[in-house]
Amino acid sequence: MEKGDIPEDANDHCPGPQSESAGKSDACEGCPNQQICATAPKGPDPDMVAIAERMATVKHKILVLSGKGGVGKSTFSAQLAFALAARDFQVGLLDIDMCGPSIPKMLGLEGHAIHQSNLGWSPVYVESNLGVMSIGFLLTDPDEAIIWKGPRKNGLIKQFVKDVYWGELDFLIVDAPPGTSDEHITIVQCLDASNVDGAIIVTTPQQVSLIDVKKEVNFCKKVGVKVLGVVENMSGLCQPITNFKFMKVTEDGEMKDVTEWISEYMKEKAPEMMNLIACSEVFDSSGGGALKMCKEMDLPFLGKVPLDPQLCKAAEEGRSCFADKDCVVSAPALQKIIDKLLETSGLSTLVSNGV
């Protein structure tokens, strides 16, 4: 174990051997390393210097967070990376969700492995200007369960930040797991010396998600991370009316598919309807959704992304929704959000060649 590293057999929420509270905090009770940590000399973590040097070539660092799982945070992270790369920025996407690394699939990189050079670990590249790093690239079996305690997960996150050679980047997007746990504290501590631009928080409209988002906002305030904005994902189901399947309940209570009949009827009787977009609420947004929450908490609201089956399909197939003509609902909504993010965060003046 190098100086400053957290031992693999340490308790959860270990403050770290170099912390002033090492061996003394409540989290240290019963740890086999408690006595060693309590008597060890304290000082600055030498790895932080190496991390700062590594991150010096990264202009902007953005965390993507969510209060709870299943809100589409990784989908947003992936499409944000695709969008920025399409604008000729140099982009890195770091997946620190140790237990559910979905980024490799969403970028079409399943089955790839990490390579090492004299400069460090090399990201896996989608395009020449879009590199990705994830624990998913380290697993020999994609179905393998990651059963790690906090210290081991935190150690790998630290290694990702310290040892991955990103080169010159305009943006490093960090896709974090849901919640406010060890991984979040570790990534903030690791990037603190190199200045994090802030965090984008992804939620869905219903109260059960917004309750957890408020906790995420408070976490950002406590650790000094600016909230760049909130995105309301799955904001109603929207898709072209021609993509819907129409069913009719028969007298026997069975469901009969009448899609073909409806389609032919619309073509003949109301052809102008063929170009309509149909929308329906999926989650209860009667409480005002993310927009109301942002007004109450004085947070930037970046916009809404509808629940679009075509976006879900693009994510499943590892494709950019912006290059997909079928994503007629979600792609424009995401583009507006990204435009607003760049403008309100003062990042719109960034030019990838540094001029």
The secondary element (H helix, E strand) that includes residue 247 is strand 247-249
Q: Which residues are annotated as a binding site for ATP?
A: 67-74
Residues making up the annotated binding site for [4Fe-4S] cluster are 14, 28, 31, 37
Q: What integer pLDDT is reported at residue 40 of this predicted model?
A: 64
Binding site, residues?
Answer: 14, 28, 31, 37, 67-74
Work out the angle at residue 67's Cα, subtended by the Cα atoms of residues 75 and 347, and round it to the nearest 5 degrees. Answer: 60
**DSSP code for 157:** H
Contact 103, 77 (CB under 8 A): yes
**DSSP string computed for 326-354:** T-TTHHHHHHHHHHHHHHHTT-TT--TT-
* Local confidence pLDDT in tens for the 355 residues of the chain: 444 567 777 787 788 776 777 878 888 888 887 877 776 656 666 788 888 899 999 999 999 999 888 899 999 999 999 999 999 999 999 999 988 899 999 999 998 988 888 889 999 999 999 999 999 998 877 777 777 777 788 889 999 999 999 999 999 999 999 988 888 888 998 887 678 899 999 999 988 899 999 999 999 998 899 999 999 999 989 999 998 999 999 988 999 999 999 999 999 999 999 999 999 888 887 788 999 999 999 999 999 999 999 999 999 999 999 998 889 999 999 999 999 999 877 766 554 444 3
Closest CA to 239 of 346, 297, 313, 174: 313
Q: Which domains does the chain have, with CATH numbers?
A: 1-43 (no CATH), 47-235+285-350 (3.40.50.300), 238-280 (no CATH)
Q: What is the pTM of this model?
A: 0.83
Give the number of residues written for the chain. 355
DSSP state of 203: E
